[in-house]
Structure 1
Amino acid sequence: MTKDLDIVVFGATGFTGRFVVEEICRTANSLHKLKWAISGRSEQLLLEVANIISISSSNNVRQPEVIVADVSNPESLHTLAKRAKVFIDCVGPFRLYGEPVVRVCIENETDYIDISGEVEYIEQIQLTYNDPAKSNNVSIVPACGYDSIPADMGLLFTKQQLDAKSAIPSQIEMFSGFCTGSAGMCANYGTYASLVYSISNINSLRELRKHANRPIVPRVGSKLELLPSRTFDKRVNGYIIPSITTDHSILKLGQQLDIMFNTGVLPAQISSYLVFSRFRYLAMMMFSGSIFKFLAKYEWGRNLLLKYPKFFSFGFFTKDGPTLEQIKQCSFYHRFYAKGISKNRLTTEDTNLINSTEQIKPLSILPHLQPDVEIVTEVKGPDAGYATTPITVVQCAYTLLTEKSNIPKGVCTPSVAFGKTSLLQRLKDNGIEFNVIGDHFY
């Protein structure tokens, strides 16, 4: 099969898609003579994007080929996927438009990544297409935007730092927060629509997991106790609540897939929290969340939510999306407080059990051992949706393009896919920071 395009950006005229195109223009000089294309439903809009690239690009990046394709036209998708080595999908909501693209990529032996943050879609794709992707020697890696890459790769980074201290991971708490400037913070309607559909299908997700038959991640060491909700945590200087975001689900799924794909990355007990600098922000989020949860159950409620995003989100989501000033001023962080167990405390039997490649293990491993090693790590980056997401998805594409032999075939989460590649360093080189900030809790 002749593939004359290195990368295709599908949905290049969308709000996030345009930022992805800009990021390729900024970084394409790191690859030799990148051949790429931009694709979407409207030829006129695609030509406008191509014209902007022609005028503004200062890196002498090749002009992308313009290819019209639409999810509702399978033949156009086949034509696109036949030519591409790596397919970047920016067309959401993914539960409505993602699966046909994944299917076409597998049929045409094209590696696929996307910017999805919809857990039901991600887990359904993993269950349905893992074996076909393996059979066709294809890597399918959803969730390569902000929703998962910083947290998932941050967890991997934290485990690596524990290993460097000769410890196995036991308990890891992740705290996630945002920093804004005077312009405030805002997100695009597409993200909002995905959120509405995700909440409305929470019961479907529960049923999917019941029948998924994935391996159970064993508990290592003494039990990790959950922190009380809506309390002030001095470590992060903010009010916390348990996180039910995509990040947490991807971390849990990634640990299951570490076992399935036999990556050698050891499991840990994980808890995740959202951080709010002021209690009123927490109260607003909880109030809005309650309304969402109720209305999303019903079709009329979903229609209301989708029609009036600004009203139901206290202005956080708008159909216009954030301004450039808001994007410039916003940033995010994930902070990991990790505890491990020194390897020199383990017996030979303990070590053999932990390193066993068997998918079925005891529900609890080393329950009698209290962790004795601590470490604090942090992942930081610019605006989550429109600066970090383009960085992460483009670097994932470059990694797939240049290090295919080091990436598992099948459908897997980012840390499972890119754990043995240069992705961490690529992210560091492009503005996503991974740091060890302490060796004890405080």
Structure 2
Amino acid sequence: MAALARKLDVIVFGATGFTGKYTVFEGVKILAGMKWGVAGRNKSKLESTLEEMGRKAGADLSHIPIVLADVDDQPSLVQMARECNVVVNCCGPYRLYGEQVIRACLEAGTHHVDVSGEPQFLEGMQLKYHDAAKEKGVYLISACGFDSIPAEMGTIFLEQQFGGVVNSVESYLFTKISGKRELGGIHYGTWASAVHAIANLKEVGAIRRELFKTKMPQLEPKLRNRPIIHKSSGNKWSLPFLGPDKSCVVRTQRFLYETENKRPVQMKNYISFGNLIEMLAVSFVGAIFWLLVKTTMGQNLLLNYPRLFSLGMVSHEGPSDEAMNNVHFTMHFEGRGWEEDLGNPNEKYSYPPNKVLRTRVSATNPGYGATCVALLLSAKTILREAERMPGRGGFLTPGAAFAKTNLISELCSNGFTFEVVSKAKL
């Protein structure tokens, strides 16, 4: 679907929120030369955001158009969507506020990207709106931030570099803080989204049974789970990672199998820690979180007292600029497979994988810097490279939408690093 002749290329909705503000900040560079605006329900707050982020970026943003729109006023959302080609939706938690914006974009024939990491929302919206989006030629692409661009495009990059057929990928996320550590490094909005996502995980099973009716091939050898606590190849303590990365990668692989007859890649993902004490502290917070989130009373406690139950890691103010820029992440990937391609995803190899490739993706400020960069580049890719994207629209994962585009190179030009670490025959 070609870009329509509309007033604006991009509108950042929810621009006064924490993620929205930094999306505006990154937009000064990434959206340079494009027509873009901001939207929300409070004009004075939007003006303040433009002034604040313009000052940080060393730019005058007083000319940026302001659009008033409210998630409780559906006609205002539709009107907002009609004024642009892509809505960049920063208004979460998406379980509470996301569907209204998606419906407005569908009605207006406008593309949509967001940074949701909530599996129930991601897969529920795909079930409800994928066919309608395809029919209207509209791309609805969620999880375009730290959840789950590094995992999605990292897996795509590994496959591109492999030179054969990948059977399985294991990823390990490691974050490092340089300089002084600061409490409150996670904004409350991120915490609230996690509460709503995990509280409603029980809905995901029913959604998946309805959504994924195509039988996938039985892949051998099967990728087994590592022990819950184990050492990674980098000798770091590691645990299973409970974010949406695996589910996004699996949905991408299913899409490519169904549309391109490509052999799916199996995926397991983990999170690594620099020392045992750090791992135990995070595990303790995670265990308390998991116990409380199962009841309404527990959810209210988590939402009302985030600093207490996160041991100070969560705050309504969010991290300072210095603290954000002191956080660096690396996601390590290990892919195993075969040099030879049998040409049929249902045909089984008579011998074990004979090749291993290790790659990594890294960047600074994963939660709010790299996330906003990835989000805006996803919107920009839709505008610039729609002809390289599959079909004519749909509710897609980032990997499915952007596998054949230049998104990886665009990410590398804007602070990300994608690189091959080693390769070997087995």
**TM-score, normalised on structure 1?**
0.90
1:358 aligns with none
- When structure 1 is superposed on structure 2, of 283-292 and 95-104 the one drifting more is 283-292
2:230 aligns with 231
2:178 aligns with 181
Q: Does 1:145 align with 2:141?
A: no
- After TM superposition, give the deviation of residue 67 of structure 1 in Å: 1.0
Whichever residue aligns with residue 387 of structure 2, its letter is: S
Whichever residue aligns with residue 253 of structure 1, its letter is: R
- After TM superposition, give the deviation of residue 221 of structure 1 in Å: 3.7
Q: Does 1:336 align with 2:339?
A: no
1:161-212 CA-partner distances (Å, limit 9, x unpaired): 11xx3x1111211111111123326110000001111111111112222222
Q: In the alignment, which of 273, 277, 280 is matched to residue 280 of structure 1? A: 277
Distance in structure 1 (CA, Å) of the matches to 2:56 and 2:201: 43
Whichever residue aligns with residue 373 of structure 1, its letter is: K
In structure 2, relative to structure 1, the CA distance for the partners of 1:301 and 1:158 (3 Å cut) is same
Contact 1:144 1:389 in 2 (8 A): yes
Contact 2:120 2:204 in 1 (8 A): yes
Q: For residues 343-362 of structure 1, what are the structure 2 equivalents within 5 Å?
A: 343=340, 350-351=342-343, 353-354=344-345
- When structure 1 is superposed on structure 2, of 246-255 and 373-382 the one drifting more is 246-255
In structure 2, relative to structure 1, the CA distance for the partners of 1:264 and 1:113 (3 Å cut) is farther
In structure 2, relative to structure 1, the CA distance for the partners of 1:313 and 1:219 (3 Å cut) is farther
Distance in structure 1 (CA, Å) of the matches to 2:170 and 2:375: 25
1:370-402 CA-partner distances (Å, limit 9, x unpaired): 011111000001111111001101111111111
Q: In the alignment, which of 395, 409, 417 is matched to residue 411 of structure 1? A: 395
Contact 2:30 2:373 in 1 (8 A): no
Contact 1:28 1:59 in 2 (8 A): no
Q: In the alignment, which of 6, 10, 28 is matched to residue 7 of structure 1? A: 10
Whichever residue aligns with residue 368 of structure 2, its letter is: Y
* SS at 1:322 equivalent: coil
Distance in structure 2 (CA, Å) of the matches to 1:56 and 1:321: 17
Contact 1:222 1:369 in 2 (8 A): no
In structure 2, relative to structure 1, the CA distance for the partners of 1:203 and 1:381 (3 Å cut) is same
Q: For residues 124-135 of structure 1, what are the structure 2 equivalents within 5 Å?
A: 124-135=124-135
Contact 1:222 1:366 in 2 (8 A): no
Distance in structure 2 (CA, Å) of the matches to 1:317 and 1:294: 18
2:313 aligns with 316
Whichever residue aligns with residue 396 of structure 2, its letter is: C
Contact 1:183 1:325 in 2 (8 A): no
Distance in structure 2 (CA, Å) of the matches to 1:56 and 1:381: 20
1:14-49 CA-partner distances (Å, limit 9, x unpaired): 0010100011102333xx3x1111011111100112
1:168 aligns with 165
- When structure 1 is superposed on structure 2, of 403-412 and 424-433 the one drifting more is 403-412
* SS at 1:45 equivalent: helix
Contact 1:174 1:271 in 2 (8 A): yes
- When structure 1 is superposed on structure 2, of 105-114 and 312-321 the one drifting more is 312-321
2:304 aligns with 307
Distance in structure 2 (CA, Å) of the matches to 1:440 and 1:64: 52
- After TM superposition, give the deviation of residue 289 of structure 1 in Å: 1.9
Contact 1:69 1:80 in 2 (8 A): yes
1:383 aligns with 365
In structure 2, relative to structure 1, the CA distance for the partners of 1:188 and 1:91 (3 Å cut) is same
- After TM superposition, give the deviation of residue 295 of structure 1 in Å: 1.3
Contact 1:221 1:371 in 2 (8 A): no
1:398 aligns with 380
Contact 1:337 1:441 in 2 (8 A): no
Q: Does 1:251 align with 2:254?
A: no
- After TM superposition, give the deviation of residue 51 of structure 1 in Å: 2.8
Contact 1:329 1:383 in 2 (8 A): yes
Gap regions ≥5 residues in structure 2: none
Aligned residues: 419
In structure 2, relative to structure 1, the CA distance for the partners of 1:54 and 1:187 (3 Å cut) is closer
Query: Identity over the aligned pairs, expressed in percent?
Result: 32
**TM-score, normalised on structure 2?**
0.93
* SS at 1:218 equivalent: coil
In structure 2, relative to structure 1, the CA distance for the partners of 1:54 and 1:312 (3 Å cut) is closer
Contact 1:170 1:267 in 2 (8 A): yes
* SS at 2:16 equivalent: coil
Gap regions ≥5 residues in structure 1: 355-361
Distance in structure 1 (CA, Å) of the matches to 2:117 and 2:425: 31
Contact 2:307 2:314 in 1 (8 A): yes
- When structure 1 is superposed on structure 2, of 263-272 and 284-293 the one drifting more is 263-272
* SS at 1:78 equivalent: helix
Q: CA RMSD in A?
A: 2.0
Whichever residue aligns with residue 174 of structure 1, its letter is: S
- After TM superposition, give the deviation of residue 285 of structure 1 in Å: 2.1
* SS at 1:403 equivalent: helix
Q: Does 1:290 align with 2:290?
A: no
